[in-house]
Structure 1
């Protein structure tokens, strides 16, 4: 237990000093992780840091990027700091998500039709925000509908997910980006945990099976089905957190605990003073776009490590 607590403190301290874009992709887990670390480690400064980061944006005017507001993290902050005025930001997020145009009648939503060259692009990244966020705000029917619509076009026949899908050309980009599988994993797990749905459960099972088949000693590659591409440490970190979460909620078979545990061991082994080196922000592109990314310490790499360690601390505490 002491080793886990020491690791959690190191990871939380490094996470707290990561530059965070408000609002940007992949920051929800960072903010919620710091709030959670405050409670588990008894260090209120981490939740204070989150409040400091988000406060200027909570009452901002509507913006096209409002679909990126991490509503689950804001709700966690309000639980920890009841004075946090998050309602207006959550309402802006709902307006942005529900107001996004359908690609075709009944189809997935296109969040940035105003933003070239991505005006016709769906991102798998949106799976971990839209469905879970709608569920968290008491909109279960919309949560399932959004998750189904995204998964219907983004999940490939092999169970992995395209990083992007062009709604004009009606085709995926063909790349099973490693961190993108994590966004799909959390979109499915967190939506299903709130709202049971047989179709989404089947899609989750296919994704988990595919991820397990491409494991490389507790690690995964930046293009999951290309073992010649670089190892991407953030994938293992998200598997350590998300797959264990799926098992705990009864959404994945208990046999996958071993996969999550190997991913956790590999992740902890890759830490350097609480920091995990992962790839930079990655736009939708062709294969070479993914294998040549710069690396560094980023919020989206720290978040899953922090949550995975905190999960294991809480499990030990409740034994």
Structure 2
């Protein structure tokens, strides 16, 4: 094999123990992906909505009913990129469209695309590191004006745009122009507002709205209902500071400081000014004002009165939570009926809807149509996808093996950031079409979206109860058992794919995307139906994809051709064996399917053991020694062989002990460098009947999340096997 790095760079020559290797791999990953929360931004419902396909619905004919044929409308936004990339985009055209990225035209519709709005056109455009400005030019015709534009990869790049104007800095969404009689010669860019007097949607109140009271202009007249305004006060000086507020309000008002009432009053709908004095200790404190609507003018205003102009203010008002695009220091929630008013302690949080039943809502800002929404903008931390499921499982188990909560807490915190927002993301999707967090969990449409991460979630939930985990698990279980497509005999089955060629197929990967979760959900609920389903999946997949003369698996069975694809892809086979160990580990000894499944496990182990490479690593195409040495399948065979020996599933242990030790030595010498970087992990795959697709096109990536967790699990099982064999020697 071609070496991934110089031998002197190997971790095998640097680390003192297997435990140190685990710490290096897990520590490198954690250090590269710090624990950042979602970014909260102002979003305007008067702007363009993102649909479930994560494309913005830009119907300019609806926005400008008097638009004339031949007029131009421009839409402008900016998109951040962490580096230089080719980004996938998709557009459905209602009219002629041009798309300009950073001043260069990247797409122009043709005569066919202009008149078929239900069709999608895909293209890629180069983005630079930092902000990238995207302008769409639409020409009004008899067919319409506008289009649907956004990501060309829903699962991989669910992009969201930001407003490019200084007065809307940090707000999510696009701006659009008035109809133009002639095309613009120069497109707007950073700091350039193209000489327009006004961009839309509007983000300022009219004078009449501005004088009507904050709750009136945000919610309208809601007699008898109440609403809340939330801010924070920060005292940076030692001791207690007396501060004075001035303002006005209409109707009943209660002000709370850290949940305790500090002011109560009742004024007529045309009330005048009032004052309030508070004692503020050192630190940061929640200030919440609750008002009841008694007339058309409804609101509260509070202004913190500082000392003299020469003095530094001892207490400052600060936003209740960092929200990009917020123009003042207040957030608003309501309206609520008195009987359903939320508990104050449950209000001052940002991860869940506020209120109950049909009154559930979230925070808003004092701007037209302005809501607060979270957006996950981290490359890794806080994401929910299947490779991260196995990555976090490996880190979780590493913490347990090393007895170090640093690792277990990191994995559990990542998972809980997702599960704690499951309720919110479901609500957000119902309101806006596509959530800014948890997009794969919320919009489940495949086993990839739920099973892997769900299994890691349930494993973490054993260590500590994760907020929202059981609700998310219930949703996943329902999807797998009730919604996921199946053949008549119950075999999990793919009826659609990213391309037509991938439709009507069964992938051996899907044993991993389903059965570990079903096993762990069986453990959680005690319902044997989930365990039975997992067991039957292995036996049905064996009928379709097992290659008996080699005792290995096809990657895919394609019903369009009635056959397997004849390529034993390494990681696909690894998923099968890995997942079978997860099933056997929880299956009772008297389960009727256990003997047949145990025999299948032994058959597979024999087949895979014969194909181990000279350096201890297995290959990308298992039967092709000229394909590259692949780290993730190697790790899964190590994991399964070690468990097979430890649990007594393999009748002849010696060959598998040798395979485990050779495999782990191969990984640490040839696939893990001294800094804990993992090499040789195959990228996420499609499928083909052509072996060369797997060998030549499906290349490996550095530190790919498909492999890091599996490498850790292989190391853990190697350590456990050594301890097991040492104990058996006495």
TM-score, normalised via structure 1 length: 0.89
- Tell me whether 236-245 or 112-121 shows the greater mean CA deviation: 112-121
User: Which of 658, 662, 665 does residue 262 from structure 1 map onto?
Assistant: 662
Structure 2: 5+ residue runs without aligned partners? 1-14, 34-378, 427-441, 523-529
User: Which of 402, 406, 409 does residue 45 from structure 1 map onto?
Assistant: 406
TM-score, normalised via structure 2 length: 0.41
Q: Indicate the SS of the match to 2:602.
A: helix
Q: Which runs of structure 1 show a deviation greater than 6 angstroms over 4 or more consecutive aligned residues?
A: none
User: Which of 389, 392, 408 does residue 31 from structure 1 map onto?
Assistant: 392
Aligned twin of 1:235: 633
Aligned twin of 2:695: 291
User: Which of 610, 613, 620 does residue 222 from structure 1 map onto?
Assistant: 620
Q: Indicate the SS of the match to 1:252.
A: coil
Contact 2:534-2:583 at 8 Å conserved across structures: yes
Whole-Å separation in 1 of the counterparts to 2:648 and 2:639: 15
User: Which of 479, 482, 500 does residue 96 from structure 1 map onto?
Assistant: 479
Aligned twin of 2:142: none
Whole-Å separation in 1 of the counterparts to 2:579 and 2:719: 24
Contact 2:664-2:718 at 8 Å conserved across structures: no
Which has the larger share of helix?
1
**Cα 1:211–1:311, aligned 2, differ >3 Å: closer, same or farther?**
closer
Whole-Å separation in 1 of the counterparts to 2:384 and 2:561: 29
Number of equivalenced pairs:
318
User: Which of 499, 502, 516 does residue 132 from structure 1 map onto?
Assistant: 516
Whole-Å separation in 2 of the counterparts to 1:237 and 1:135: 21
Contact 1:131-1:191 at 8 Å conserved across structures: yes
Whole-Å separation in 2 of the counterparts to 1:26 and 1:171: 28
What's the RMSD between the two structures over aligned residues?
A: 2.5
Whether 2:565 is the aligned partner of 1:182: answer: no
Alignment map for 1:1-319 (pairs within 5 Å): 2-16=16-30, 17=32, 20=380, 22-58=383-419, 59=422, 60-61=425-426, 62=442, 63-65=444-446, 66-99=449-482, 100-103=484-487, 105-111=488-494, 113=496, 115-117=498-500, 118-138=502-522, 139-157=530-548, 158-195=550-587, 197-217=594-614, 218-253=616-651, 254-255=653-654, 256-270=656-670, 271-272=672-673, 273-277=675-679, 278-285=681-688, 286-292=690-696, 293-295=698-700, 296-314=702-720, 319=727
- Tell me whether 90-99 or 26-35 shows the greater mean CA deviation: 26-35
Name the larger-Rg structure. Answer: 2
Which has the larger share of strand?
2
Whole-Å separation in 2 of the counterparts to 1:252 and 1:231: 25
1 or 2 for the larger relative contact order (CA 8 Å, sep ≥6)? 1
Whole-Å separation in 1 of the counterparts to 2:540 and 2:450: 17
